[in-house]
Structure 1
Amino acid sequence: MSDSDVIALMRDGLWITLLVGGPLMGAALVVGLIVSLFQALTQVNEASLIFVPKLLAVAGAAALTAPFIGRTLGDFTRLLFDRIVAIGGV
């Protein structure tokens, strides 16, 4: 396996990480901004007020994107295993 193959696999791995984690982080970001705005407007400063909605939003986003995440990670894993076999691994 050449250096360019390793770099391509690392680039693909980072891209997969962004694709898989992006929706979850986006949901947490949006809910965090909304709750922070609510706290600033009402001057309620409760730590659990920001934690629970974020937890629910990330869990909901994970449930909605689970098929995509599973398919994407499965395809990438198969690609990696095919590359291992191609270079002579057992």
Structure 2
Amino acid sequence: MTPQVVLDILGEAFFLTVIIVVVIVGPSLAVGLIVSVFQAATQINEQTLSFLPRLVMTLTTIMMTGPWLLSRLTDLFNRLIYDIPHIIG
């Protein structure tokens, strides 16, 4: 196994991790920004007003994109498991 193979595997895994984080956290950040602008405009300083919409958006995003993210993860791990003889040998 060459260092280049290890770097390729780690790079692919890191890229998938970044995709998963962006897909889950991105919509939550957008909702948080909208709620923050609303709070600043109306001068409402309620903490739960900021927390609850982000929580709901995060859960909704996980429910909607969960199967796709899980298929991407299983594809990566299946490819790694099937390539073990080629990587070692």
- The CA deviation at 1:84 is 3.0
The aligned counterpart of 2:11 is: 11
Query: What TM-score do the two structures reach when normalised by structure 1?
Result: 0.89
Secondary structure of the residue aligned to 2:45 is: coil
Alpha-carbon offset, residue 79 of structure 1: 1.8
Q: Point out which structure has higher relative CO (alpha carbons under 8 A, 6+ apart).
A: 2
Structure 1: stretches of 5+ with no match in the other structure = none
What TM-score does the superposition give when structure 2 sets the normalisation length? 0.90
Partner residue, 1:60: 60
Q: Which runs of 5 or more residues in structure 2 are unaligned?
A: none
Partner of 1:41 in structure 2? 41
Q: State the number of aligned residues.
A: 88
- Identity level (%): 34
In structure 1, how many angstroms separate the alpha carbons of the residues matched to 2:70 and 2:37? 34
RMSD of aligned Cα (Å):
1.3
